[in-house]
């Protein structure tokens, strides 16, 4: 079994860590959906991830240093938290969402967050990453006076849901 990446190329290294669709979907659901437990990730998956695939991807993301798993005691469910490396995937996910908006069919309800992230650009991404650091790493937000990025994203999503009903 290979211990390191296939080459020293940074793009290859990133693809080896994030290159399958399910890993990115799991990160998306943790970052934008606030899902931190196995059952939440399984039940909340729009794409219908199978439990064995979810289990495999969570293990891979923990091993790869993108998530941590809090040891759950007997009768307790494990909690997954983003690491700094996982938090720093926000710009990557925003870029993927922007590309998807332009080049793939989407629905208004599911495209609204990608559009808001595209319009808000790096300042919004930074605010979101600061919130994630607070929630997952316990690091206080440096600008608590700013509106929460998660509130902006949630409100935009709720408006899109209401408009599509």
Confidence bin at 5 (pLDDT 50/70/90):
low
Co-location of 130 and 66 in the same domain: no
Does residue 1 lie within any of the structural domains?
Answer: no
| Contacts (Cβ under 8 Å, ≥6 apart) of 91 | 122, 125
Q: What is the pLDDT of residue 39?
A: 93
Structural domain including 50 reads: 10-83
The mean pLDDT of 59-87, rounded to a whole number, is 91
Q: What is the pLDDT of residue 109?
A: 85
For position 75, which CATH number holds? 1.10.10.10
Co-location of 65 and 130 in the same domain: no
- Considering 64, 83, 102, which residue would you say is the last residue of a domain? 83
Q: What is the pLDDT of residue 4?
A: 65
Residue 114 tokens read as: 């990608």
Residue 32 tokens read as: 């934008």
d(CA 157, CA 65): 30
Chain-centre distance for alpha carbon 83: 11
Each residue's pLDDT tens digit, 61-74: 999 999 999 977 77
pLDDT of 1 higher than 70 = no
């Amino acid at each position: 079994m290979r211990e390191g990446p296939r080459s020293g190329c940074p793009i290859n290294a990133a693809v080896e860590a994030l290159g399958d669709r399910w890993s990115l979907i799991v990160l998306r659901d943790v970052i934008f959906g606030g899902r931190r437990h196995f059952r939440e990730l399984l039940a909340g998956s729009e794409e219908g991830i199978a439990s064995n695939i979810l289990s495999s991807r969570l293990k891979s993301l923990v091993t790869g240093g993108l998530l941590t798993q809090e040891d759950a005691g007997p009768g307790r469910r494990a909690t997954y938290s983003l690491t700094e490396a996982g938090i720093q995937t926000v710009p990557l996910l925003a870029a993927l969402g922007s590309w998807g908006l332009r080049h793939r069919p989407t629905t208004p309800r599911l495209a609204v967050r990608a559009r808001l992230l595209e319009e808000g650009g790096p300042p919004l991404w930074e605010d979101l990453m600061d919130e994630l650091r607070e929630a997952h790493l316990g690091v206080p937000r440096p600008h608590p006076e700013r509106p929460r990025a998660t509130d902006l994203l949630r409100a935009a999503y709720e408006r899109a849901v209401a408009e599509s009903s």
